[in-house]
Chains A and B, each alone.
Chain A
Amino acid sequence: MAGIIILGVIVGMAIAAPLLTSYNPITQNLNATLLGPSAHHLLGTDQLGRDTWTRLLYGLRLDLRIAFIAVLFPFCLGTVLGCLAGYFGGSADVIIMRLVDIVVAFPFYVLVIALVFVLGPGARSIYIAITVVGWVSYARIIRGEILVAKRQDYVLAAQAGGLSSLRIMGRHLLPNVVTQAFIYAMSDIVQDILAIVTLGYFGLGIPAPTADLGSMINDGQNFLSTHWQLTTIPGLVVVVVGLGLSLIGDGLADLLRPGQS
């Protein structure tokens, strides 16, 4: 439950960003560049005189929003395709699982970065890239679960009741297996946040001057020896978010798995 507290605080801060700071994240003040922490600027300012605390809050806000949306698309796509592959088997299974093999042949980050590079920076590219690469894990999980579940008597009973395949999948199989995909989604969000931050770091994320944790880490890198907080604090925030989500994922797994029996 520590995970819920950590994530609750962070999400709360992200949502309440406009209340927690009086600065604008993109307004430059060239008279106040690279200031140290003070009462006016809690974490100081960057090389363009923007308040680091403000940019941190808005960056967090943006990255979390993109991550939570980005996890939905592969979740839905992978669940549907995995379900079809597992239930029908045969050629549907072969085609879908070969697609999965093709995608998993590439390392996650390499493929995401390549796709965003081709599609151009921006939130839309990130969604597309993460969907194209991310659905395979859900498809594999759901397919495996369906293969087991479809041998259960209740599926035979549903067939004996003259229900259509679509209805059997939607009403009888998916509710029994979707928790596994849900648990995986919790750890997948962490991966997505890291991907978004990584893309930002490479300049492939949200275009400047919008605040984003990845680009903050990259911008601050040049001043690492004199103003270490510019890079280190956004990095630490990413770590804390990841930790919170992982803890929630573990907790959910413990909570949901015994109830499956």
Chain B
Amino acid sequence: MSDAIPDTVLEVRDLHVRIASRRGTVRAVDGVSFEVPRGEALGLVGESGSGKSMTLRAILGLLPPEAQVTSGQILLDGVDLVQLGRSDFNRIRGPKISMIFQEPMSALNPVMRVGRQIAEGPEVHLGYSRARAADRALELMRRVGIPDPERRFRAYPHEFSGGMRQRVMIAIALSCDPEIILCDEPTTALDVTIQDQILRLLARLCRESGVSLVFVTHDLPVVAQVCQHIAVMYGGQLVERGDVREVLLDPRHPYTLGLVRSAPDFEYVRESLVPIPGSPPSLITPPPGCRFHPRCAFVEEDCRVTDTPLRLLPGGRATACLHYERCLEAVAADRARP
């Protein structure tokens, strides 16, 4: 526990999550490791069903009843959350770690006044009186840019627009001054213009208050805007990890390359959008060897049989690809085109 790097807020080590289903055990998260430095943001990207959301819920200790962490560690300030009991966990959720959801409408209680929802955390966790917690809520509403907080305090969620609701969610997540906020696609349900405002707000909070973010999304430009680090998930495993600009401009894994090529309005050079052929692997019976090999353009014989753990590359990056040089060539070829 003590060997965690001091400036790392959250460290996930070799996390495995299994889900029991009628058709077999789903290996939803299969040996994922990453670190989140203090005050910085990590983007966790991947397709639907790649295990991003399960990773988040495992960190929060809120896996659905049929899912369970089978091995690995989740260290928050050196404390292993996997070993934590229910009531100890409730002392951590809120003051140390909190979450922002994708759908701000459904994540707010429809019959409770917005201000009271923001004030609830400080009342429960920080022992604030009702009045002091209300002051705290007003201050937070101002901080996340909700106009006229005194009046809005008494409003119900349905009286807010989508962007304002998401600001309320952010205020709730911030209410007990956590060290890290987990964001589950917080801008997917919003208009593009509102999306930009929310991302700027999150990036600003990250800078100003030193809170760290884990940002789950499948939207690469969003990651590029907010995050310093990126971890790419495929089929329950990490396939690539590193600095966000390096990874997105110069991918070292064919899956990342495929994601970058298939994403619109990203700075990566290309002629037109190129979709990734095929569909995500079954996590009940994953393909042997590299999980991406059935869809990979660069596949070779050893990819079908050899396990592919993350390997460190120069510059603090890591890739799971056995033949990542092929990506370098492909990127160079993309660049060479006029």
Contacts and interface: CB of A to CB of B under 8 A. Distances in A.
A, B assembled together: yes
Given A159-B93, A161-B98, A163-B90, A153 B106 contact: yes
Contacts of B124: 161-164, 167
A160 B103 CA distance: 15
Contact of B95 (A157, A162, A175, A176): A162
A54 B198 CA distance: 70
29 contacts: A152-B106, A153-B103, A154-B108, A156-B62, A156-B101, A156-B107, A157-B169, A158-B109, A159-B62, A160-B62, A160-B93, A161-B94, A161-B120, A161-B121, A162-B89, A162-B93, A162-B95, A162-B121, A163-B90, A163-B120, A167-B124, A171-B112, A172-B109, A172-B112, A175-B109, A175-B111, A175-B112, A176-B109, A176-B110
A171 B124 CA distance: 12
B205 interface: no
A154 B101 CA distance: 9
A156 B104 CA distance: 12
A160 B62 CA distance: 7
A171 B109 CA distance: 9
A220 B306 CA distance: 94
B112 A157 contact: no
Given A152-B106, A154-B107, A162 B112 contact: no
A183 to B, nearest CB: 15
A239 B317 CA distance: 80
A160 B99 contact: yes
Contacts of A154: 106-110
8 cross-chain pairs, A with B, having the tightest CB-CB distances, nearest first: A162-B93, A162-B94, A153-B107, A153-B106, A160-B99, A157-B107, A162-B90, A154-B109
A209 B6 CA distance: 83
Contacts, number: 61
A164 B101 contact: no
Contacts of B112: 171-172, 175
Nearest to B96: A162
Contacts of A157: 99, 101, 107-108, 169, 172
A115 to B, nearest CB: 36
B125 interface: yes
B26 interface: no
B91 interface: yes
B101 A153 contact: yes
Contacts of B109: 154, 158, 172, 175-176
Given A153-B103, A154-B106, A157-B101, A162 B125 contact: yes
A255 to B, nearest CB: 15
Given A160-B98, A161-B93, A172-B109, 8 more contacts: A154-B108, A156-B62, A161-B94, A162-B92, A162-B95, A162-B121, A162-B125, A176-B110
A159 B99 CA distance: 10
A93 to B, nearest CB: 13
Contacts of A152: 106
Contacts of A161: 93-94, 98, 120-121, 124, 172
A186 B327 CA distance: 70
Nearest to A176: B111
A54 B94 CA distance: 63
Contacts of A156: 62, 101, 107
